[in-house]
Amino acid sequence: MAESIGRITAHLAGPIEKISEEIISLINKNIKPPNPVGAGDVFVRAMYVVSDEINSFGGRFPAEEHNRLAALLIDSPVLVGHRKDKLPVARNFHSQLVTRDGSQWVKCYFYWLKNAEGAENLRHNIDGGIYKECSISFIYLFPECSVCAEDIRNCEHRPLQQLSSNGSSQIVHFNYRQIERVLETSLVYRGAQQNTAVTKELDLSFLNSVLTQPPLITQLSELPQSDTYLVVPNYQGLPVTVLVEQGKIAVRDAGGVLIERPTSAFETLKSLNDFVSARAVLLGLRGKQRCSQQELQRFLNYEQSPVSRLEIKLLPEPNLSQADISISSGASKISIIRHAFVTCDELSDAVSQYETREGCLIWPSADFLADGPGYTYCRDAQGESKTTFEISSCEGQDHYLMRFKRNEQSYSFILKQFNLNRLKHGGRFLAEVKENGQSFIQESARSPQAVIISGTIEKIERNEKGYLLQFSEPLRGTFAIRPVRLGSTRQYLFYMKNENHLRARP
């Protein structure tokens, strides 16, 4: 599946005039600056960075992707105008999911140092309404057609096309799926997202819970040492506590407030033997499909939502067993969550068995018994360690762009008069090196119809004669990039070294 870049626009929110110690703790925890910052060292602002509305390119972030995007935003840089030749002016340290004017938004908080060059000018321009809009640069893999759910680059539908059927109409768009990485957010003069606005007041209620949320890790080695660990799937749900109060189930949020709808959904505890209370995850479902946190929250607030039933997944307490749990009320039910208590040697296998798209929740046993938040492990959040290649067409031109990347180092070439069939049959193509390895992927505005071939590199060798690349599917084989001299110009030839069958999907 091909990587793609997208940018959308939103507006900056207003200032925090007094920086709380909780905010400072959050910055130091998530960014880990070499010299921890204090309340008098920084300015803090926020931006509504993406919503679930269709942007002017015909792209859309569906609400179920917002959790992943919010996690990837943390520790990303803030630039001005997507200028990669300038250093960042600020850094994102927190993000949250909010509802605004009926739309779902990802809102992120960023900070910069008061004693940095231009710091006061940046503050004045934001607070004075000059810098009002922002944009995000990101990598994603799959543009999902809103009509047929296929790759919109391959189907018959076109973004922003209006379709009419049975007296109703819809605007064709594509959903950003399989988001891999946020490269940066930028202050810009104008962008694609509509219906944004500036706010002078920031909602700091997130501070009540964010400092107890499970920290995100991308390597199991980041976990503290423990004799045993608890591993459970990471579902898109709300953390709650389930209790027995006057013979009935009561569901309370992290602040102890009673949540009405799930409480009223379960009337008795006849099949829960000796149950008193347990931590749990509250899920909203439509049929068998889990809904997003935002959709669940709207349902709990008696707003329009696709949620049609609730499930409560109890975390395993010492007095609970799988046989204890068999309660349901209509379509809603309570059950113990899938889980495993494992040793350090068994941890990797347990993660592979229980992880979802959002990864796993993991507790060292002592932390779990002490009601600690545990850790969110998501291997896909790493992103940087992948070794990948990509060959993509350029709209209206006969050359292609080829990039291969290892960790943070990228190499880019322009393939002149490239043709995949000719490559399969031994064709050789001139390749002009593009010095800034990442620039084309950030600057070029690929259309959704672009032909893109991508995959992973099993092996890469570099010497004085160029590169040897062993590609995986769909371009399985060994390819060479060799220097040649045309007159006084140094260029390269790109060709296949063996005769393995190539399979590629545009």
Cα 243 from Cα 169, distance rounded (Å) = 47
Residue 203 CA to chain centroid, in angstroms? 23
Domain assignment of residue 339, yes or no: yes
* Average pLDDT across the chain, whole number: 78
Q: Considering 188, 208, 228, which residue would you say is the last residue of a domain?
A: 208
> Which of the pair, 62 or 257, is modelled with greater confidence?
62
Does a structural domain hold residue 193? yes
**Percentage with pLDDT > 70 across the chain:** 75
Q: Are residues 404 and 465 in the same domain?
A: yes
Q: Are 286 and 394 contained in the same domain?
A: no
pLDDT over 90 (residue 439): no
Residues 376 and 391 in one domain: no
User: What are the CA-CA distances from residue 247 to residues 270, 274, 282, 294, 475 (Å)?
Assistant: 9, 11, 20, 31, 63
Residues 173 and 38 in one domain: yes
pLDDT band of residue 33 (cuts 50, 70, 90) is very high
Q: What does the angle CA 130 – CA 103 – CA 122 come to, to the nearest 5 degrees?
A: 20
Residues 375 and 394 in one domain: no
Tell which of 208, 241, 276 closes a domain. 208
User: Which residue is it, tokens 């962008």?
Assistant: 191
Are 235 and 354 members of one domain? yes
- Count Cβ atoms within 10 A of the Cβ of residue 121 and give its class: 0-12 exposed, 13-18 middle, 19 or more buried: exposed
- The CATH number of the domain where 365 resides is what? 3.30.470
Mean pLDDT of the 478-505 span: 67
Cis peptide before 239 (omega within 30 of 0): no
Report the sign of the C-alpha dihedral through residues 360, 362, 368, 371, in that order.
negative
Domains of the chain: total: 3
153 and 43 in a single domain? The answer is yes
In this structure, are 344 and 446 located in the same domain? no
CB burial class (10 A; 0-12, 13-18, 19+) of residue 274? exposed
pLDDT confidence tier of residue 58, bands split at 50, 70 and 90: very high
- 195 plus 251 within the same structural domain: no
Which residue range(s) make up the domain with 274? 216-381
Per DSSP, the three-state class of 11 is strand
Within a domain: residue 133?
yes
The answer to whether residue 391 scores a pLDDT higher than 90 is no
pLDDT at 447: 46
Position 504 in a domain: no
Mean pLDDT, rounded, for 53-79? 88
Residues 400 and 283 in one domain: no
Domain boundary among 347, 381, 415: 381
Query: pLDDT by residue (tens digit) across 255-312?
Result: 667 788 887 777 655 555 566 778 889 999 888 788 887 788 888 878 788 888 899 9
Do 242 and 223 reside in the same domain of the chain? Answer: yes
The DSSP secondary-structure symbol of 258 reads B
pLDDT of residue 502: 36
Q: Is it the case that residue 211 has pLDDT exceeding 70? A: no
Residue 506 in any domain: the answer is no
Same domain flag for 358 and 417:
no
| In-domain check, residue 505 | no
Cα separation, 454 vs 181, whole angstroms: 16
